Amino acid sequence: MVHVNVGSINSETMKALNLKIVFDYIRRHEPTSRRDIAEYGGLTVASVSKITGKLIEKGLVVETGEGQSVGGRKPAMLGINANCRYAVGIDLTAEYIKLVITNFKAQVIYELHSDTQLERGKEYVLHRLCTLILQSIEESGIDKEKLIGIGLVSAGPCDHEKGSMQSPPNFPGWDNVKIRDYIQENTGFPTFFDKDAVAAVMAEYWFGVASECNSVFACLINQSGFGGGLIANGQIFRGYNDGACEIGHTIIDVHGAKCACGNYGCLETLVNGSLIVKEVTDKLKLGNRSVLSQLDNYDKITLAAILQAVKNGDPLCRSVIDKTADYISAGIQNVATIYSPEIIVLSGNMLWNCDYLIQTVISKVQKRKGNKFIKSMTVVGGTFGENQCALGGVALVLENFYKEISIEE
């Protein structure tokens, strides 16, 4: 049975919660019966029937046939009506835009990867983003009437309530950019906005490895930044001013290098793509042997080349990555000590092509000393690779859609 901390929630929240429990169970366990949903959610079969009746009436859920009888009539089985609605998810990074269009089961039916072209300025990027969205919707061939919204995510800091970007370090000059309203006004579709690390954890909670967990932390380890997102008791934990979970700016070495945030020795100064490239380059210049030793110009070595060498077992590149893994595992231990999540998911573009780094982090975390809660915590690689944050955008759309249905009568 699902356990939810109800506290002092009001009846509308309760309705939204029950609807989410029913909907989520159908999504994750279809085909399923009303009786199974009731048992899982701690609800009566009558209240489940009321909710599923509403979902069927709206065409969101369909009866898919008969299940096995457990005595008496065979139960009618329920499933999600995959093509009843669509959502757009977008991950806007300083380097690239990743856009996905999914059906109501969050299955990707169209995707696009494009350069952000940040150097051309904010107005250009925003205008082009709208053009790409509208073109993608057109090319996907979906019925626009069934598109329930756009979930846009980008680098923090942000004000998610106002839908604005608040000077992310990698977006120079993007101060107080009301990006949600801009996209909504220029595309004509309801738009939702949040920061990328929140999206990373939502994608896992809604569609990925953490779908049965109430307490989830996602690390978003990108080449140029290290963010975090937390779901506690099934809800996003934001802290004051959207400032929670900035794991990249937890201080690991008070005498360390200066961080973009102004402090010294933040985790992000120790875990980033530029540092890995610098350390490998320095070692090569000192005459250490590596598959990269044969290159003519050590100053042009890329992170991609290093990660490929890591994949091929190059000891020098692996030793640098091992050090990165030490710092990530220390960061994870700190997160575990403060929040004690059930599962920590490792996502972000530094990890997509480096399973070695993920596995090394996992083994280092397991070897760390800690209390029994940390020992029983699961650490895994993310599920969705490049689509992680864009699918988090889809989750933002679905979350809002659920809320809207639940308050309609």
Contacting range for Zn ion; rule: CB under 5 A; set: 19-27, 115-123, 245-253, 283-291: 245-253
How many other C-beta atoms are found inside a 10 Å radius of the C-beta of residue 62? Answer: 18
* Smallest gap from residue 258 Cβ to Zn ion (A): 9
Q: Does 259 bind Zn ion (CB under 5 A)?
A: yes
Report the alpha-carbon distance of residue 206 to residue 107 in Å, rounded: 12
Contacting range for Zn ion; rule: CB under 5 A; set: 5-13, 244-252, 308-316, 386-394: 244-252
Nearest Cα to 251, choosing from 330, 195, 325, 339? 330
- 315 forms beta bridges with none
What type of residue sits at position 158? Answer: C
Residue 94 or 259: which CB sits closer to Zn ion?
A: 259
Please tell me the count of residues contacting Zn ion according to CB under 5 A. Answer: 5
* HSE value, Cβ hemisphere, 13 Å, CA-based, for 247: 29
Contacting range for Zn ion; rule: CB under 5 A; set: 257-265, 273-281, 351-359, 379-387: 257-265
Q: Does 249 bind Zn ion (CB under 5 A)?
A: yes
* Smallest gap from residue 282 Cβ to Zn ion (A): 23
Report the alpha-carbon distance of residue 70 to residue 57 in Å, rounded: 27
* Smallest gap from residue 118 Cβ to Zn ion (A): 21
Sorted by sequence, the CB contacts under 8 Å of residue 339 that are 6+ apart come out as 215, 217, 230, 232
* Smallest gap from residue 325 Cβ to Zn ion (A): 20
Write 50-55 long-range contacts (CB < 8 A, 24+): 51/18, 51/19, 51/22, 52/22, 52/26, 52/78, 54/405, 55/22, 55/23, 55/26, 55/405
262-281 footprint of Zn ion as x/- string (CB under 5 A): -x--x---------------
* Smallest gap from residue 254 Cβ to Zn ion (A): 12
Q: Does 216 bind Zn ion (CB under 5 A)?
A: no
Contacting range for Zn ion; rule: CB under 5 A; set: 73-81, 85-93, 105-113, 242-250: 242-250
* Smallest gap from residue 261 Cβ to Zn ion (A): 3
Of positions 6, 261, 338, 407, contacts Zn ion by CB under 5 A = 261
Name the phi and psi angles at 399, rounded to 5: -60, -45
Contacting range for Zn ion; rule: CB under 5 A; set: 40-48, 88-96, 188-196, 253-261: 253-261
**Tokens (6 digits) for 192:** 């939702």
On whether the CB atoms of residues 333 and 374 are closer than 8 A, the answer is yes
On whether the CB atoms of residues 118 and 96 are closer than 8 A, the answer is no
Residue 208 or 229: which CB sits closer to Zn ion?
A: 229
Residue 263 or 378: which CB sits closer to Zn ion?
A: 263
Interacting residue ranges for Zn ion, rule: CB under 5 A: 249, 259, 261, 263, 266
